[in-house]
């Protein structure tokens, strides 16, 4: 019997999907009736049925990946509730509630906290403005935290105390990429060989934040302005399958090269509210 010895360099990175549990909110009441980010144009009518159909494609994609998908009931008059990522930040069974910057979205905070409570999570009411997973991204053991447009940097300190993890503050500078999850994609939800990787858009950050990103993630994927402009970074990965905007074609190519399996979905109608795949997805980590 002969044994074949493979050179380590010849072995492609084998990526393993990790089971995910997420919370979503069907966009039954979706519309754009106010403007709190540059993507929103309230004077242009929206197609709620199309938004629902596109959202269902995302929902079914997650079911197809064997994710556990939980649902929160949409509330009339809260059109942005579909962007579940902003509803809080959940880690180790603790749900740190959201406190929204703009009055239009403020009632969503308590609505999501009620859902967390009823679903068995320990809810911590926030003392500072923060928009949940829109600005908090868990990468391995570290939480990257955005500020500049929405979440107050004091919420970063607050979250660090609550969950006992390192929280790294990053400053966002481009109003089109107002939440951290529009400027960074987490590629590895759990660290592989002690390392978890990201993809990001350099121009969305100030120089000190860029230095941090370059130092911590030397192998990060750098996406094009074109891909970022369709919210390509606003994606959701299980460590192998990466659900992305179908129009982010160069990001798709780069993911494939690195051994990931990109899956494109079209959320163009929801993009008119300024959100994409990740915005519609809140991770529940029990």
Task: Kindly list the catalytic residues.
Answer: 179, 279
When asked if residue 134 is in the footprint of ligand ARG (CB under 6 A), the reply is yes
Does residue 274 bind ligand ARG (CB under 6 A)?
Answer: yes
Task: Provide, rounded to whole angstroms, the least separation between the CB of residue 20 and ligand ARG.
Answer: 17
Pick between residue 15 and residue 79 the one whose CB is nearest to ligand ARG: 79
Q: Which is nearer to ligand ARG, 36 or 95 (CB)?
A: 36
Question: At its nearest, how many Å lie between ligand ARG and the CB of residue 206?
Answer: 19
Whose Cβ is closer to ligand ARG: residue 67's or residue 177's? 177
Q: What is the CA radius of gyration of the chain?
A: 18
- Cα separation, 261 vs 137, in Å, equals 21
Site for ligand ARG in 64-103 (CB under 6 A): 80, 83, 85-86
CB of 40 or CB of 173, closer to ligand ARG: 40
State the first-to-last Cα distance of the chain, in angstroms, to the nearest integer: 47
* Reduced 3-state DSSP string for the chain: CCCCCCCHHHCCCCCCCCCCEEEECCCCCCCCCCCCCCCCCCCCCCCHHHHHHHHHHHHHHHHHCCCEEEECCCCCCCHHHHCHHHHEEEECCEEEECECCCHHHCCHHHHHHHHHHHCCCEEECCCCCECHHHCEEEECCEEEEEECCCCCHHHHHHHHHHHCCCEEEEEECCHHHCCHHHCEEECCCCCECCECCEEECHHHECHHHHHHHHHHCCCCEECCHHHHCCCCCCCEECCCEEEEECCCHHHHHHHHHCCCEEEEECCHHHHCCCCCCHHHCEECCC
**Cβ at position 130, least distance to ligand ARG in Å:** 12
Q: Smallest gap, in angstroms, from Cβ of residue 45 to ligand ARG? A: 16
Size of the site for ligand ARG (CB under 6 A): 16
Contact pattern for ligand ARG over residues 243 through 272, marking x by CB under 6 A: ------------------------------
For residue 132, give the nearest of 176, 96, 101 by alpha carbon: 96
Nearer to ligand ARG, 15 or 277 (CB): 277
State yes or no: residue 36 binds ligand ARG (CB under 6 A).
yes
Q: Is 279 in the site for ligand ARG (CB under 6 A)?
A: yes
Question: Which of 130, 231, 226, 236 shows the shortest CA–CA distance to 182?
Answer: 231
- Per CB under 6 A, the list member of 20, 179, 247, 272 interacting with ligand ARG is 179
Interacting residue with ligand ARG among 108, 152, 158, 181 (CB under 6 A): 181
Residue closer to ligand ARG (CB basis): 163 or 183: 183
Q: Which of 130, 155, 169, 182 binds ligand ARG (CB under 6 A)?
A: 182
Minimum separation from the CB atom of position 150 to ligand ARG (A): 7
Binding site for ligand ARG (CB under 6 A): 36-37, 40, 80, 83, 85-86, 105, 134, 179, 181-182, 273-275, 279
């Amino acid at each position: 019997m002969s044994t074949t010895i493979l050179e380590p360099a010849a072995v492609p990175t084998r990526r393993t999907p990790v089971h995910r549990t997420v919370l979503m909110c069907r966009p039954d009441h979706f519309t754009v009736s106010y403007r709190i980010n540059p993507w929103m144009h309230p004077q242009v009518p929206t197609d709620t049925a199309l938004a629902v159909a596109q959202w269902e494609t995302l929902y079914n994609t997650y079911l197809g990946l064997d994710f556990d998908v939980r649902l929160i009931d949409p509330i009339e008059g809260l059109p942005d509730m579909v962007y579940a990522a902003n509803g809080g930040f959940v880690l180790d069974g603790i749900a740190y509630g959201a406190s929204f910057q703009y009055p239009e979205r403020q009632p969503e905070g308590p609505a999501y906290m009620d859902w967390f409570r009823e679903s068995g999570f320990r809810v911590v009411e926030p003392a500072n403005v923060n928009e949940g997973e829109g600005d908090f991204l868990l990468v391995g053991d570290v939480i990257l935290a955005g500020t500049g447009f929405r979440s107050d940097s004091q919420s970063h300190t607050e979250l660090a105390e609550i969950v006992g993890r390192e929280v790294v503050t990053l400053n966002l500078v481009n109003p089109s990429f107002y939440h951290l999850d529009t400027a960074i994609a987490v590629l590895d939800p759990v660290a592989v060989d002690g390392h978890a990787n990201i993809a990001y858009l350099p121009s969305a950050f100030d120089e000190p934040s860029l230095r941090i990103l370059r130092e911590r993630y030397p192998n990060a994927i750098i996406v094009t302005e074109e891909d970022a402009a369709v919210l390509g970074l606003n994606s959701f990965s299980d460590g192998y399958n990466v659900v992305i905007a179908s129009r982010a074609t160069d990001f798709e190519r780069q993911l494939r090269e690195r051994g990931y399996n990109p899956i494109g979905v079209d959320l163009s109608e929801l993009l008119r509210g300024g959100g994409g795949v990740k915005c519609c997805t809140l991770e529940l980590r029990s």
